[in-house]
Copies of this chain bind each other. A is one copy, B any other.
Amino acid sequence: MADAKIRLYVEHPLGEGQTVPLSRDQAHYLFGVMRRGAGDALLGFNGRDGEWLVTVQEASKKGGVLRVEKQTAPQRNPPDLWVLFAPIKKARTDFIVEKAAEMGAARILPVQTDFTNSERIRQDRLQAHAIEAAEQCGGTYVPEVTDLQKLDRLLQDWPERRQLMFCDEALAGAAQNLGAVGGPAWAILIGPEGGFSEAERARLHALPFAHPVSLGPRILRADTAAVAAMTVWQMTLGDWR
């Protein structure tokens, strides 16, 4: 393995001896952009079956076929962590999705808060960013990116036994006693750049499953807060322990 192998996300099942058809886009990327051809080896994963060595069996401009050779890494799923965030400017929204996928989020949920500017998102584009992050960072899991939904409705139908950590700029002390809460299912809520509204803040503080944390004495941008909050959670309750 002189040169680093390409890692490609595919939707088909992966198992020894199976074949995987390539879409036009994948063929363009592999054969056009990356100059790979028949016989070349790469790595494939589908988010469920681990990572596999695959070889190119057929290559054309419009498609191709991969052959699945042998497993190179087992499937590794992240902790049961949802990441909720209020979409901001395009580049920083893309960044939050990329970082959530990298840091081990199981599910990414864009939410509309009182101070969110975004009325809509491009779910397909954000999902593609999550896939690319997994391809680049050696992951075998791809978090689902859901469609934009209103935070208050999501909180109304909140799943039983899922805890929620939210970052409150107005908090003075650290108060990060999440370890004592425990529990396997969690969500992190990153507020919008303008913070939460007073009504939202009051509601969040009153929810029995919601736990405020402070991210230090400085004002952080939403994308910074996302990575910092996931670090706090992973260190305290996740798989960094």
Contacts and interface: CB of A to CB of B under 8 A. Distances in A.
Contacts of A227: 224, 227-228, 231
A99 interface: yes
Q: How many copies does the complex hold?
A: 2
A93 to B, nearest CB: 15
Contact of A103 (B136, B228, B239): B228
Interface in A179-196: none
A7 to B, nearest CB: 11
A215 B232 contact: no
Nearest to A217: B239
A240 B138 CA distance: 31
Interface string A209-234: 00000111111110010011011101
A241 interface: yes
Interface residues of A, number: 31
A221 B174 contact: no
Contacts of A228: 103, 227-228, 230-231
Contact of A138 (B219, B232, B234, B235): B219
B216 A104 contact: yes
Given A99-B224, A224-B99, A227-B227, A216 B232 contact: no
A168 interface: no
A115 B241 CA distance: 29
Given A231-B231, A232-B231, A239 B224 contact: no
Most buried by B among A137, A216, A219, A239: A216
Contacts of A103: 216, 218, 220, 224, 228
Given A137-B218, A137-B220, 10 more contacts: A76-B217, A103-B218, A103-B224, A104-B216, A138-B218, A174-B240, A215-B231, A231-B231, A231-B232, A232-B235
User: Which 3 A-B pairs have CB atoms at the shortest separation, nearest pair first?
Assistant: A231-B231, A227-B227, A216-B240
Interface of A: 76, 99, 102-104, 136-139, 174, 176, 214-221, 224, 227-228, 230-232, 234-235, 238-241
